[in-house]
Amino acid sequence: MTRILIIASGGGHTGFARAIAQYLPEKVDFVIPTNDPYSRQMISQYANKIYEIPKGREPDESSLVLFKRLFSIIVKSASIKKYDLIIATGSNHSIFPSFFQFLKGGKVYGIESQDRLITKGKAIGIISNYAKGVFLHWQEQRKLYEKKGIVVGPIVEKPKYESKDEGYILVTTGSMGFKRLFDAIVKSVIGKRIVIQTGKIDPTIYRNQNVTTFSFDPDLEKWIANASLVITHQGKTAMEAVVMYRKPVIMVYNNDWKSATTLSDAKKYAEILGATFLSDPITWSDYNVLLEAIENANEPNVFDTGTPNLVKHVLSEL
Round to whole Å and give the CA distance between 141 and 139.
Answer: 5
DSSP code per residue over 142-164 = GGGGTTTEEE-----PPP-S---
Q: Check residue 259 and give its pLDDT.
A: 65
Average pLDDT over residues 49-59: 86
SS3 state at 117: coil
From the list 269, 294, 292, 277, the residue with the least C-alpha distance to 169 is 294
* 176 pLDDT more than 90: no
Q: How far is CA 107 from CA 48, 101, 218, 277, in A?
A: 20, 8, 30, 38
> What domains appear along the chain, each with residue ranges and CATH number?
4-154+306-316 (3.40.50.2000), 168-295 (3.40.50.2000)
pLDDT of residue 138: 98
R_g (Cα) of the chain, nearest Å: 19
Task: Report the 3 state secondary structure along 48-77.
Answer: EEEEEECCCCCCCCCHHHHHHHHHHHHHHH
What's the pLDDT band for 136 if we cut at 50, 70, 90? Answer: very high
- What is d(CA 28, CA 16) in angstroms, rounded to the nearest whole number? 14
pLDDT classification of 101: cutoffs 50, 70, 90: very high
The full length of the chain comes to: 318
**pLDDT higher than 60, residue 63:** yes
Q: What is the mean pLDDT of residues 203-221?
A: 94
The rounded distance, in Å, linking the Cα atoms of 207 and 171 is: 13
pLDDT at 62 over 70: no
Region 173-195: what's the mean pLDDT?
94
DSSP 182-209: HHHHHHH--SSEEEEE-TTS-GGGT-BT
Mean pLDDT of the chain: 94
What's the pLDDT score for residue 59? Answer: 61
Helix (H, G, I), strand (E, B) or coil at 177: coil
Is the distance from CB of 314 to CB of 252 less than 8 angstroms?
A: no
Q: Is the pLDDT of residue 218 over 90?
A: no
Query: Is residue 184 a contact partner of residue 225, using CB atoms and an 8 Å limit?
Result: no
